[in-house]
Structure 1
Amino acid sequence: MIRFSATLTCRYDTLFSPFTANELEQGLAWLAKSGFDAAELCINDYEGIDIARLKQRLDYHGLGCTTIATGQARKLDGLSLLASGRAIVERTRQRLSEHIDVAAQLASHVTIGSLRATDRALSKTQYMHELAEAMQPCVEQAQKCGVTLVIEALNRYEMAHLHSAEDMMEFLTLSDAPENVGVLWDIFHANIEDRDFAAAIDTLGSRLKHVHFADSNRAFPGYGHLPIDDIYRALKNSGYHHAVSLECLCAPSTQTLIEEAGPLITHLRGL
């Protein structure tokens, strides 16, 4: 059964959350009222965050956590697994280690998206080898903790390599990644990089562990040109049983997202 989640942020505000970090409680109440199953939590670091209380508030609202989104650390702290400076790589691993420990407590995945940016010109093969090496300690820790790491396929305008479903499978094969390493497939990025949505879903198979929904312009689904219903049906028909999470801009407005998310979920559940 497919679960539904949406982005909320815990400390620093993000364009993908209709609520600020200071409004987290209102956001959780909105998720529950709108029929979501879980939150996708955007967390940069854990200063001032009480994980036990966070878990208690999720439980209170009857919500889980699908994944911890980690990308803020790239913009705010300059972290990356593929930085040229080894000290930055180690700091990134340490931050991911913290995320993995918390994910084990929240029964969630951990996302690796913009934290795989590189500041060097690398061939695709070099990039994949270096990413696999940089990730290895995190992969091993996640295995021990029962946590899945989901690597996000990002479009060519945001990332040097690993854009499409085929790219992601090439990387997982080359790195001999264990089953606790999967793919986060975002249909906004896929609209740029994958020739066919259903074929991409088929290519990823059991490695597809998390899905982001946003329309072609990254607005709320229904305000662009993507065949949202067809994509959801393809996921459902493939046997996909993880989460579909809203990670869209608050466009055409924040109120649109707040008011129309519930009806969208009801509609998709009925397909």
Structure 2
Amino acid sequence: MKTSVSLSLFNADKTAPVLFSGDIETNIPYISSIGYAGVDLFVLDPLADISKRALRLLADNNLGVGVVMPAALAKKQLFMGDVDSGVRKEIIRRLKEIIAFSAEAGAMVSLGLVRGSVKGNDSYEAFFQRFADTCEKLIPFAEQHGVKLLIEPINRYEINTLNSSQEAFEFIQKFNLPLFLMLDTFHMNIEDVSIEESFVHCQQLVRHIHFLDSNRRAPGMGHLEMTKIYELLKQLNYDGYLCLEALSLPDSKTCALKGIEFFAKIGLCG
């Protein structure tokens, strides 16, 4: 397993689970210097100069990219399951740009907030059919570029679709799509009956993990048994990233260093 943190190429909201944002010339070398092996990257425009510059800086500092996060598209009200076919067409175009960028970064792409929520008189059945159809339009392009698409279950307070690990797993099975899972222990603690049982049940599809304590901070800053969860992941032969997609509380550096302190205790650094 490898360690990583969340990094935004733009100035993220203070309430967002972004440990470092903006000022990549300072943040990227710092992330590497304290012992992390990679980042999850929040990207606004993959074609912008800052995106290309970030990839060069990451490579220069020996940092990998686990997942590219297109959550900024949701801020622009672009959703994969939207009732408006024009919106779906636009997000397909934008996600293809993200996928091409992710291929260059050697990363996967998360489908979290960008899938959208069920609104008004819409039905869950109709929403999931539209979401699946949008995925089907993206999958050939993603496969051509060697990029995996990951469904991220997100808690009910942020979105009303695929909140639990079980729901996301069943969606993939029902529509028989070549998609995978990115699980987040913060969301799992809210929505899943058992974090451990979910990892066991979903192990064949899990490709990336956001490894956070109960308060969305670094392991050891909340009340979850993070060492126990880590030991289970070892038993399941998970070999991907454990990413701190954490709130920058009390501040970015303190949280990042608390993460390194935890990873050092369990023998997993850098």
What is the TM-score normalised by the length of structure 1? 0.91
User: Which SS does the other structure have where 1:269 is aligned?
Assistant: coil
Amino acid at match of 2:153: A
Partner of 1:34: 34
Partner of 2:263: 265
- The CA distance in 2 between the partners of 1:129 and 1:218, in whole Å, is 32
Asked which structure has the greater RCO (Cα within 8 Å, sep 6+), the reply is: 2
The answer to whether the Cα contact below 8 Å between 1:220 and 1:252 also exists between their aligned partners in 2 is: no
Distance 1:270 1:184, change over 3 A: closer
Q: Does 1:256 align with 2:254?
A: yes
Q: For residue 105 of structure 1, what is the amino acid of its counterpart?
A: E
Query: What is the match of residue 104 of structure 1?
Result: 103
Match of 2:7 in 1: 8
Deviation (angstroms), 1:81: 0.7
Match of 1:244 among 242, 245, 265: 242
Name the counterpart of 1:164: 164
Contact 1:219 1:252 in 2 (8 A): no
Give the TM-score normalised by structure 2: 0.91
SS in 2 for 1:250: coil
User: Per the alignment, in what secondary structure is the counterpart of residue 49 of structure 2?
Assistant: coil
What per-residue deviation string (whole Å, max 9, x for no partner) do you get for residues 224-264 of structure 1? 21111111111111111111110111123334214323222
For 2:49 and 2:17, locate their aligned partners in 1 and report how far apart those are by CA, in whole Å. 20
Deviations 1:163-191 (A, max 9, x none): 2221111111111112xx21110111100
CA contact (8 A) 1:104 1:145 kept: yes
CA distance in 1 between partners of 2:248 and 2:50 (Å): 27
How far apart in 2 are the matches of 1:26 and 1:265?
23
Could you tell me which amino acid in structure 2 is paired with residue 19 of structure 1?
F
Corresponding position: 1:151 with 2:151: yes
Instruction: Determine if the alignment matches structure 1 residue 17 to structure 2 residue 15.
Output: no
**AA in 1 matched with 2:211:** F
- Please say if residues 211 and 243 of structure 1, whose CA atoms lie closer than 8 Å, have aligned partners that are also in contact: yes
Long gaps (5+) in structure 1: none
Please provide the CA RMSD for this pair: 1.9
1:3, 1:243 within 8 Å by CA — same for their partners in 2?
yes
Cα deviation code 1:15-69 (max 9, x no counterpart): 3334331x21221112211211111110122353355433221111011111101
Given that 1:111 and 1:184 are in contact with CA atoms closer than 8 Å, whether structure 2 keeps it comes out as: yes
Instruction: Report Cα offsets for 1:105-148 as digits up to 9, x if no partner.
Output: 11100111000113535444333322111111111110111100
SS in 2 for 1:138: helix
